[in-house]
Amino acid sequence: MEDVRLIQGNEAIAAGAIYAGADFYAGYPITPSSEIMTEAAKIMPKVGGMFMQMEDEIASVAAVVGASLAGAKAFTATSGPGFSLMQENLGVAVMGEVPCVVITVQRNGPSTGLATKPGQADIMQIRWGRHGDQSVIALTPGSVAECFLMTVQAFNFAEKFRLPVILAADEVVAHARESFALPKPGMIPLVERKKPTVSPEKYSPFAADADGIAPLAAFGSEYVSHISSSMHGPDGYSNNDPENAIWRINQLHRKIEMHRDEIVLTKSYDIDDMDILVIGYGATTGACRAAVKEARKRGLKAGVLQLITIWPFPDKEIEELAKLVKTVVVVEMNYAGQVAGEVRKVIGSEIELKRVNKYNGQIITPQDIIETLK
């Protein structure tokens, strides 16, 4: 029989991490992500993993990076204020190509803002929070089920592409409870990082294979290697040569670009014969879908594109659907239209772009969207 449970989004994230094989959690609690940490504290010892409460979020990512380099599947969870503190060591993880998963459950800001209320205003911080030429993968779950499934996906991407993956949830999906049939072990394929096959003396931790990914040996194994946040050569040791810097920065970007179509995940609803495209992500997905169903009853031909992968941006998917419509509506819980700006870059100035934004800590409702569709 199926194991259907009434499970909270944060609990589903923790369960998804365990399903994916996570065996290390280090974190510092913060609303609305705290249940992930509570669950990790309960479950980690039972699966032979390790749980550490850290002194702050800076140390949390430091511990996660260290654990991952020692061979663990490591993760942490936080919200805006903590995510800000994590940026420096996330940069280290990008530069060192360290697989790890960082969950940020977005709440209303800026700063400590409305601590218990939802927001989606960290989309640009997720992309650009670190200095320098860098890139990450970020996924936004739109339901409790997706909290579980996209956490597994986040670990798989992190392991496969050797980089930090950010799961950008929000207070709405994190605190909602939904009936969800937990997948049985083996139902979802799991990815393990590529290990070196050469002899230890020939191993270079940043020498990528043809697929753009370099094998990663674990600290403490027979492979002695060096990981540095400063510019380094394939062997991991400092290298100030301009040619090397080009190779290195290209490598950090190209491993994502090469696999872009595998990484970019979207879902579409009711897009047949549409002439209005409604774009939502995370918590707003449900409101978009409900609004479009209602709009169709009223004779408006609208459809929904849900962005699950938010970085790299689903430009091709948006461009393709935007060709079919007269109007694109972007729905998000922030003031500036952080995703709407990216959509504008993709669709150009010919197609009408409308925005539905709310930033008072309340969820966007189907009615809010229907008003804009009229």
Partner 1 sequence: MKDKTNTYEIILAGSGGQGLVSSGIMLGEAAILEGKQVMQATSYGIAQRGGLASAEVMISSAEIIFQHVQKPNLILALTEESLNLYLPQASSGAAIFYDTTLIQTTFVQKHEKNNLYGYPFTEIANELGHSGVANIIALGVMIGKSKMIKYASMEMVLRKHFSGKTAEMNVKALYQGRRLGEGQI
Among 290, 300, 336, 346, binds partner 1 (CB under 8 A): 290
Dihedral sign (CA 129, 346, 258, 100): positive
The CA distance from 180 to 157, in Å, is: 23
**Amino acid present at 16:** G
Which string of x and - marks every residue 92-121 that binds partner 1 (by CB under 8 A)?
A: -----------------------xx-----
Q: Should residue 173 be labelled a site residue for partner 1 when binding is judged by CB under 8 A?
A: yes
Which string of x and - marks every residue 313-332 that binds partner 1 (by CB under 8 A)?
A: --------------------
Looking at beta carbons only, is 31 or 221 nearer to partner 1? Answer: 31
Q: Which residues contact 199 (CB under 8 A, 6 or more apart)?
A: none
> Residues 71-103, buried b or exposed e (16+ Cβ, 10 A)?
bbbbbbbbbbbbbbbbbebbbbbbbbbbbbbbb
> Residues 320-355, buried b or exposed e (16+ Cβ, 10 A)?
ebbeebebbbbbbbbeebbbbebbbebbeeebebeb
Q: Which stretch binds partner 1 (CB under 8 A): 21-29, 66-74, 237-245, 279-287?
A: 279-287
Minimum Å distance from CB 368 to partner 1?
Answer: 11
Among 42, 45, 47, 179, binds partner 1 (CB under 8 A): 179
Residues in the chain: 374
Looking at beta carbons only, is 178 or 235 nearer to partner 1? Answer: 178
Q: Should residue 178 be labelled a site residue for partner 1 when binding is judged by CB under 8 A?
A: yes
Among 123, 149, 283, 321, binds partner 1 (CB under 8 A): 283
Q: Are 208 and 255 in contact (CB under 8 A)?
A: yes
Q: Should residue 175 be labelled a site residue for partner 1 when binding is judged by CB under 8 A?
A: yes
Minimum Å distance from CB 355 to partner 1?
Answer: 20
Q: Are 327 and 351 in contact (CB under 8 A)?
A: yes
Residues binding partner 1 (CB under 8 A): 4-6, 115-116, 172-173, 175-179, 283, 286-287, 289-290, 293, 363, 365-366
